[in-house]
Structure 1
């Protein structure tokens, strides 16, 4: 694991070094482009001022991601078990993704107000599509020969789904989950722009309006950290569950 990660870490270190060196050589003002050391210093010194924003975003992200996973998996299973419904609904699902979420957000506020509902809906809309599509594709790629064999042994449709199709689709499902895990943080930040009282999105908006570019980069830094955090959790679950499936 360490041998595989040294290359991207080295590239990131070189980029940060060039960034730091450029800001010093060209004397770029901090309000235009702060140096990495300035950003880290701001992040460390002002943790009490924005820690509650981060925890608020984490709570919103977890709730929205869980709901998005439930919706995505439910839609995928229904469309897989009902082929006629899948043929009718699947193109609509694809078309729905052509509508930018930033355009849809104001409509959700008009329809549902400034409470928690529109924020969760944004995260769900961002998360459910990768999960649903990956799950549908994974379920459909099950070997027809194995399905035929199970039918010959007298297995029911429910048994075929539970013991063959679903385990076979696990790698595809986790691929969708990893994408949604990173998208969920983005969805949470966008939803906080709708008028939340706290959150990384609120902190970023306040920092931008006051030309505190260093604080904007602090917000970006923690967004990246949260994305990696949720991605790592899904990766750990994937290794544990698929390993268990193989051992079983």
Structure 2
């Protein structure tokens, strides 16, 4: 019971903060400081979310597909690039500055070019998600590879271990915490990147739906989509945490021992 009590109390501040924001939002809405069509109340947003749930879920299917495909491709490319850059220092020196430069370009500026090159299908959306998710995972893996315990590497080398064995037993496990830190960022960026690309052209998706309801001044529906995107992002972060627990059970064992 004593162990559960800190976990319960730690959840009280965020719940209170969210409740305070919702109450303040409701008070501003009913006070008339802003017209209701500009700032719909939380009740109106929830009603729009329930009433338009079928349409929102239909468009969410396309956005989630783009996010998933882009995230998977981004993870694979990040693993390949980070591993090659760690293996060959000259590649690290050549490509690291280029990766930094690419992150200074706003995604809203890249999206129209991708649509112009690839059309209005899923290809430009997936490409933008790949560009958005690639960087945090690559940097996380590179930092993880560089933080490896060199004494362990030298020990395995003295025992005659190959490069592949050293990578599998030492380098990759040490990089996993950094990898999942980057994956958390990329998972939340994936949905946002897909929605941003859908704003600029397409036929289906949450970004297309938001553009349509904005033009119709149905801001309650627009806020409903925003809340839906937030929920999806939180669920993705939760999924990453679950996978992290499964892949790295020793971290939670160490935390439990420290608490004792």
Shorter-chain TM band:
over 0.9
Question: Is residue 42 from structure 1 mapped to residue 48 from structure 2 by the alignment?
Answer: yes
* Residue equivalent to 1:209: 215
- 1:121-180 Cα distance to aligned partner (Å, 9 max, x none): 100000010000000001110011111111111111111111000001110000000000
* Residue equivalent to 1:11: 17
CA distance in 2, matches of 1:58, 1:244: 31
Q: Structure 1 residue 48: deviation in Å?
A: 2.3
Of stretches 15-24 and 110-119 in structure 1, the one that deviates more from structure 2 is 110-119
- 1:54-107 Cα distance to aligned partner (Å, 9 max, x none): 122112211111111111111111111111111111111111111111111111
Question: Is residue 237 from structure 1 mapped to residue 228 from structure 2 by the alignment?
Answer: no
CA distance in 2, matches of 1:195, 1:48: 22
Change (3 A) 1:14 1:246: closer
Following TM superposition, where does structure 1 have runs of at least 4 consecutive aligned residues deviating by more than 4 angstroms? 244-247
Which secondary structure state, in structure 1, belongs to the residue aligned with residue 11 of structure 2? helix
Question: Does structure 1 retain, via aligned residues, the 8 Å contact 2:137–2:182?
Answer: yes
**TM-score, normalised to structure 2's length?**
0.91
Q: Structure 1 residue 118: deviation in Å?
A: 1.2
Q: Structure 1 residue 190: deviation in Å?
A: 1.1
Question: Is residue 111 from structure 1 mapped to residue 117 from structure 2 by the alignment?
Answer: yes
Unaligned 5+ runs, structure 1: none
Question: Does structure 1 retain, via aligned residues, the 8 Å contact 2:60–2:206?
Answer: yes
Which secondary structure state, in structure 2, belongs to the residue aligned with residue 197 of structure 1? coil
Question: Does structure 2 retain, via aligned residues, the 8 Å contact 1:77–1:136?
Answer: yes
2:37 to 31, 34, 42: 31
Aligned residue pairs, count: 247
Question: Is residue 168 from structure 1 mapped to residue 174 from structure 2 by the alignment?
Answer: yes
Q: Structure 1 residue 246: deviation in Å?
A: 8.1
* Residue equivalent to 1:190: 196
Question: Does structure 2 retain, via aligned residues, the 8 Å contact 1:28–1:34?
Answer: no
Of stretches 8-17 and 106-115 in structure 1, the one that deviates more from structure 2 is 106-115
Question: Does structure 2 retain, via aligned residues, the 8 Å contact 1:64–1:184?
Answer: yes
Q: Structure 1 residue 237: deviation in Å?
A: 0.3
CA distance in 2, matches of 1:139, 1:11: 38
Question: Does structure 2 retain, via aligned residues, the 8 Å contact 1:167–1:245?
Answer: no
CA distance in 2, matches of 1:5, 1:245: 22
CA distance in 1, matches of 2:181, 2:70: 18
* Residue equivalent to 2:70: 64
Change (3 A) 1:92 1:23: same
CA distance in 2, matches of 1:12, 1:246: 28
**TM-score, normalised to structure 1's length?**
0.95
CA distance in 1, matches of 2:148, 2:233: 31
2:152 to 146, 152, 155: 146
CA distance in 2, matches of 1:78, 1:118: 26
CA distance in 2, matches of 1:245, 1:16: 36
Question: Is residue 73 from structure 1 mapped to residue 93 from structure 2 by the alignment?
Answer: no
